[in-house]
Amino acid sequence: MNFADGLKFLSEGIREQTTVGAVWPSSPALCGKMAEPILRDRPDRPLRILEVGAGLGPVSEILLPQIRADDVYDIVELNPKFCAHLRDKFGHTPANVHELSILDFKADSYDRIVSGLPLANFPAAMVEEIYRTFFRLLHPDGFFVMFEYLVIRQALATVTLGPDRRRVRRILDIEKNLLPLQREQVDILANVPPARVRVRTRPADPEAFVL
């Protein structure tokens, strides 16, 4: 990811504040931690990997050179400018870029999902819908990796007022409800702002799982 890419991301981050949710691509340290569980202890069969909210592709850049020729690597990204960039940059790789919202993506049986979605910016009902979509998209043994910015949600829950306070508190409750699914978490200070990477499994019974 070079400086020109950073400026491209900055311009979309300012134009599309809610959906992009950041002004600079994630740091190499954060992307490395997001990518690491995806291929760790991989089974000896083709893997189906889904990346959601890839932006300009700092995580794809790490994973794509390491996947096997028979693996599937699908990217779902909402922003048309980012999709054009991803197609250009990864056109020679097995990556398939799908330009749409994850909520409209029809597929299934992914072994792993890696998500860069800025959930703290979204309405609480949409956050719940996104997690339900991840459950639907995952194979029963699958897991998903995502990050959140440290402290920001808690700070928002304290300083915001009215409906936004209720929104943030509901998102924090959803995150608490997801704790039984958590397999690992690691904090990355070498990112602006510092971030927490979480790895979570699909629930055994997604329909019954309370979010």
Q: Which residues bind ligand SAM (CB under 6 A)?
A: 19-22, 25-26, 52-55, 58-59, 76-79, 82, 101-103, 116-118
Pairing between strand 110-115 and 95-99? Answer: unpaired
Q: Which is nearer to ligand SAM, 37 or 58 (CB)?
A: 58
Closest distance between ligand SAM and the C-beta of residue 57, in Å?
7
Two tokens at 2?
Answer: 């070079």
Contact 75, 60 (CB under 8 A): yes
Q: Which is nearer to ligand SAM, 19 or 46 (CB)?
A: 19
Contact 50, 110 (CB under 8 A): yes
Q: Which is nearer to ligand SAM, 130 or 168 (CB)?
A: 130
Closest distance between ligand SAM and the C-beta of residue 110, in Å?
15
Long-range contacts of 155-164 (CB under 8 A, 24+ apart): 156/120
Amino acid at 93: T
Closest distance between ligand SAM and the C-beta of residue 98, in Å?
9
Q: Which is nearer to ligand SAM, 58 or 203 (CB)?
A: 58
**Straight-line distance from the first to the last Cα atom of the chain, in angstroms, rounded to the nearest whole number:** 36
Closest distance between ligand SAM and the C-beta of residue 138, in Å?
16
**Side-by-side strand order, sheet with 110-115:** 95-99, 72-77, 48-52, 110-115, 138-149, 195-201, 182-188
Closest distance between ligand SAM and the C-beta of residue 38, in Å?
13
Q: Which is nearer to ligand SAM, 58 or 142 (CB)?
A: 58
